[in-house]
Structure 1
Amino acid sequence: MDEETRYEAVRSRDARFDGEFFFAVETTGIYCRPSCPAVTPKRKNVRYYTTAAAAQTSGFRACRRCRPDAVPGSADWNVRADVVGRAMRMIGDGVVDREGVPGLAVRLGYSARQVQRQLTAELGAGPVALARAQRAHTARVLLQTTDLPVTEIAFAAGFASVRQFNDTIKAVYALTPTALRAAAPRRGAARATPAAGIPLRLAHRGPYRADAVFDLLAHEAVTGVEEVSGERGARTYRRTLRLPYGTGIVAVQEAHHDATTGPGTGSATEAVHRGGWLDARLHLTDLRDLTTAVQRLRRLFDLDADPYAVDERLGADPRLAPLVAARPGLRSPGTADPDEFAMRALVGRAGAERLVERYGKLLDAPCGGLTHTFPAPAELAAEQGAPGALAAALADGSLRLDAGADRDDAEAALRALPGVDARTAAVIRMRALGDPDVAVPGGPEPVLDAWRPWRSYALRHLALAGS
């Protein structure tokens, strides 16, 4: 996009570009999302940034009105398989917070200096700045939705010290942590306590076909780990999470919330221009897992997708056009746990339930039908045959399915394992690795190159049309 196109998006307050770029106003020192409702600034005073971190690094603070730190992520990071795309996915998963820049570099196979140089050259911010922006957003969520002490929030958000936390919050929001908490929007409910869980709004851009996503999750649900309850259109998906520091339980509501009109009141056409969110509530045994848990939920529900780009490309094909028109905003769901999904793709639902019953970790406090977390690969390595071989490869690192894994390398490693055929490997690549452009062999219809880079979405349309 050139500056003329970006300014037109800002002038028209076009929500389609929220998260795709940010703009900052030199005269106010504030950066915003393109759809910010404030008065449009003069063109000569506007600067553009690819990431919120780049705007913050340049000295701009987040707009309190449009909250640019809360926008959906750019769909580019899911499409791209290069170092920058992989790095952005890993930073989102909290790798820098847990392992530092050296750990990120090792996972990417580059030196820390090379990673710093590539990210800064393209995004205007290095890995530390990108992780810092993410920590600031996590801290704001905790400050404004819970009554946790400020000191606990600082470390839960990933800051190394309370001083670093205070300095970052002041730089990003131009408020102290206490003042930022006091400025929280009131929605008629008291702030949550840790025992009640953390309420979240999982934002997405454009239309979102929640019914198709929840249908799939209900069909695949593994007893003890997942459950879907309620009537269609108002269902709740709940599952357990195995996270770096502990475990979690999440509940996500199917009901669509439009950013302008409220719950479920906007038509599909209206939603194209307004976007919205899914309500969720997250219970964690260790709050340091908040950032990672949110990013994994975003991948599961495919919330960072760009439905405008997907629908435009696929809708141009005569075969797909009526399907796209019938289901605007159809998503290609991922997974909350790539290792878990790989095992489930291999053994099937019944086999996965057997593994949970035999190896799964019992929750300290079972919640309804949720009783276990899915077993880690190391716990499944004792299995015989193909499941054991897959678990061993995941456990020893010869197969990596994390957020920043090289997708081609991962698929090749999968194909080398006994019992993993081309179709299973492709499904794992599509769901576990979140690849939006997978052609699964053996399907009912040929997958065309004209559908690139959104072949995974084309397959979803064809599957629903045939069901």
Structure 2
Amino acid sequence: MNTNITHFQQARLSRDARFDGLFYTAVLTTGIYCRSICPAPPPKEENVRYFSTAHEAASQGFRPCLRCRPDSAPGSPAWLGKETTLKRALGLIQDGFLQENSIPDLAERLGVTDRYVRKLFSESLGCSPKQYALYQQILFAKKLLHETTLPIADIAFAAGFNSVRRFNDCFHLQLALSPTQVRGKKTSPSESLSVTLSYRPPYDWKQFHSFVAARLIPNVEWLSESGYGRTFINGNQRGQFTATWEPDKNRFRVALQLSEPKHLYSVLNRIRKLLDLDANPDAIAQTMADATNQSASNGTRIPGTWDTFEAGVRAMFGESVLGAAAHISSIEHVLIHDANTHVAYFPSANTWLSHVELLPLPDANKQPLSAWAAFCLSQQTAHTSVDTDTDGRNVRDIRTHPLSTMQYNYACLRGAGLPDIADLLDDANNIPSSSNHAAPWRSYLSLSQIHEQQSTALNQPQGAIEKNKDIS
């Protein structure tokens, strides 16, 4: 690793959670690799080796620690983002792309050759794309074995394997343990599914909560003092989750209802993106402080939506980074209501196009929504992230969609979680535009500035609020 080893030594010995997932430590005497926060007694430095990724440690023959569980570490390691094509490839793999597609399909999606993709992974990660994807599936299965009571067969399918035998063979090959050995004890099946999702602290829950509260869609989303939940449509499946913030443990506990565990891998990755759990808050805060020459809010996150189609529809109905306008009553007609459970679902792009004729909306409203749905599907962004170049702009012709520039940027912000959108505000807003010096985190700077100004406005006397009402 081409990084200052001294920093890793200090982080390991202090068990600093801010470095969790940025690197892994392997111990020569035990053959085990760990997270930087592992509670086990620290080994001697001469017996420690440092790796950028879990897969690098595994490829050197080390197996994951059963105590600190590297499968639970936050994502977004330090090297992510240095190579745009690699970043897009890893994002697609996290969305489960290789579970149903081949490496040539991945290369075509990325707009490069099969040979280039393999070379990129070999030089950057020391493995092939398939090997990387397989190890992520195994770590995900390990997490489910630790945290859930799902039967091993269901875990195998949830992790993307087509047979239990294939799952058992790969699991033992990668971890030198069987799934039963990792689980350790007998469990009884449960209707509820609960998993934990870790993040790198700090996490500005107050800011996230405030942003979502102003844009909450009743019956689709819900908020509590320390939790956020919502319904969702994933493929042909409907579900819902509630994520409860556990700040003392730097994680969210997610209670999930999902009738078919096969898509659990992609669903949990979507929840991670929605809560922006893979951000590196220290790096973001430092860049924002350097750009503004003043201390910046640490822990800012991008509050996501379920997918890019939903974020675009919200924007078309008046939602923006400055507020929700009066969109809630209008957007009610777009939702799919469940009379039995009294909840509602935001349609996916596919669902919208197949049910649009049944919805009580004027044709003048249906047409642009259908055009946006068709665009999302044609760009393959409805259920994955937006394809972008190094400047955060869509690599394809954005003139084929019905959104304005501001609406499109909002869709990319909340739907795809793009971290470096420069133009989230227009010139009429009394909020400083994001400085180019804040790249590649300009989205976070805008959100932080908006939250700060709106919080200040709420604490001002009534006369001052009226004077500045254009920013509330």
Whole-angstrom distance in 2 between the partners of 1:153 and 1:240: 22
* Matched position secondary structure for 1:147: coil
Number of equivalenced pairs = 432
The answer to whether residue 289 in structure 2 is matched with residue 287 in structure 1 is no
Structure 1: stretches of 5+ with no match in the other structure? 185-189, 260-275
Deviations 1:258-280 (Å, cap 9, x if unpaired)?
Answer: 12xxxxxxxxxxxxxxxx11121
In the TM superposition, residue 87 of structure 1 has moved relative to its aligned partner by: 1.0
State the secondary structure of the residue aligned to 1:391.
Answer: helix
Contact in 2 for aligned 1:89/1:404 (Cα 8 Å): no
2:411 alignment partner, SS class: helix
RMSD between superposed Cα atoms in Å: 2.9
Who is 1:91 aligned against? 93
Structure 1 pair 96/433, CA: closer, same or farther in 2 (3 Å)? same
User: Once the two structures are superposed, what CA deviation does each residue of 1:89-136 show, in whole Å capped at 9, x if it has no partner?
Assistant: 111111112324333222212233322221121012322222222222
Pick aligned residue for 1:210 from 192, 200, 205: 205
Q: In the alignment, which residue of structure 1 is the partner of 2:214?
A: 219
Q: CA deviation at 1:39?
A: 3.5
- Amino acid across the alignment from 1:86: R
- Greater Rg, structure 1 or structure 2? 2
Mapping for residues 80-119 of structure 1, pairs under 5 Å:
82-119=84-121
Match of 2:470 in 1: none
| Paired position in structure 1 for 2:229 | 238
Q: Among residues 333, 340, 344, which one is paired with 1:357 in the alignment?
A: 333
Distance 1:73 1:450, change over 3 A: same
2:413 match: 430
The separation in 2 between residues aligned to 1:59 and 1:317, in whole angstroms, is 43
Q: Which moved more, 1:341-350 or 1:60-69?
A: 341-350
Q: Which residue is 1:453 aligned to?
A: 440
Relative to structure 1, the CA distance from residue 109 to residue 245 in structure 2 (aligned partners, 3 Å threshold; closer, same or farther) is farther
Structure 1 residue 411, shift from structure 2 partner? 3.6
1:410 & 1:252 partners in 2: Cα distance?
31
The letter of the residue matching 1:283 is Q
1:258 is aligned to 248
Q: Alpha carbons of 1:210 and 1:150: their partners in 2 closer, same or farther (altered >3 Å)? A: same
Q: Which residue of 2 aligns with 1:333?
A: 303
Alpha-carbon distance change, 114 to 437 in structure 1, aligned in 2, over 3 angstroms = same
Mapped to 1, the partners of 2:9 and 2:332 lie a distance apart of 52
Deviation at 1:73, TM superposition (A): 0.2
Structure 2: 5+ residue stretches without partners: 320-325, 358-364, 455-472
Structure 2 equivalent of residue 465 of structure 1: 452
C-alpha spacing 1:205/1:224, structure 2 compared with 1 (3 Å): same
For 1:14, which of 16, 20, 39 is the aligned residue? 16
Deviates more, 1:163-172 or 1:307-316: 163-172
What's the CA shift string for 1:383-439, capped at 9, x where partnerless? 544323222212333877722622568646574146422222222222222221211
Q: What's the CA shift for 1:149? A: 2.5
Rounded to whole Å, the distance in 1 between the matches of 2:135 and 2:163 is: 16
> Which residue does 1:135 correspond to in 2?
137
Distance 2:299 2:14 in 1: 22
- Decide which moves more: 55-64 or 76-85: 76-85
* Residue aligning to 2:464: none
Displacement of 1:77 after TM fit?
Answer: 7.7
Equivalent residue in structure 1 for 2:252, among 263, 273, 278: 278
Deviation per CA, 1:359-403: give whole Å up to 9, x if none: x4445952xx52324242562477544323222212333877722
- The yes-or-no answer on 1:306 pairing with 2:280 is yes
> Corresponding residue for 2:63?
61
CA gap of 1:429–1:250, structure 2 versus 1, over 3 A, is: same
Classify the secondary structure of the residue corresponding to 2:214.
helix
Q: CA deviation at 1:76?
A: 5.3
* Contact 1:62–1:172 (8 Å) recurs in 2: no
SS in 2 for 1:258: helix
SS in 2 for 1:405: coil
Cα deviation 1:175-205 (Å, max 9, x = unaligned): 3222222269xxxxx8661x32x11211111
Structure of higher RCO (CA pairs closer than 8 Å, 6+ residues apart): 1
Alpha-carbon distance, 1:221 to partner? 1.9
Q: Would you say the 8 A contact 1:411–1:426 is kept in 2?
A: no
Q: Within 2, Cα distance between the matches of 1:379 and 1:48?
A: 48
Give the TM-score normalised by structure 1.
0.83
What is the CA-CA distance between 1:218 and the residue it aligns to? Answer: 2.1
What residue number does 1:372 align with?
A: 345
Assess if the C-alpha contact under 8 Å between 1:415 and 1:422 holds in 2: no
Equivalent residues of 1:239, 1:370 under 8 A apart = no
Shift of 1:38: 2.8
Q: Letter of the aligned partner of 1:466 in structure 2? A: Q
Amino acid corresponding to residue 448 of structure 1 in structure 2? S
Change (3 A) 1:142 1:399: closer
Cα deviation, residue 301, structure 1: 0.9
Alignment of 1:249 onto 2:240: yes
Q: State the AA in 2 paired with 1:449.
A: N
Partner of 1:175: 177
Secondary structure at the counterpart of residue 99 of structure 2: helix
Instruction: Report the equivalent of 2:378.
Output: 396
Identity, in percent, stands at 32
- After superposition, the C-alpha distances for 1:36-63 in whole angstroms (9 at most, x for unaligned) are 2334334444333222122223321101
Contact kept, 8 Å, 1:401 with 1:433, in 2: the verdict is no
Equivalent AA in structure 2 for residue 392 of structure 1: A
* DSSP-derived class of the 1:348 partner: coil
Distance 1:4 1:318 in 2: 29
The alignment partner of 1:31 has SS state of: strand
What is the TM-score when the length of structure 2 is the normalising length?
0.82
Instruction: Report the Cα distance in structure 2 between the residues aligned to 1:282 and 1:76, rounded to whole angstroms.
Output: 30
Mean Cα displacement is larger for which, 396-405 or 13-22? 396-405
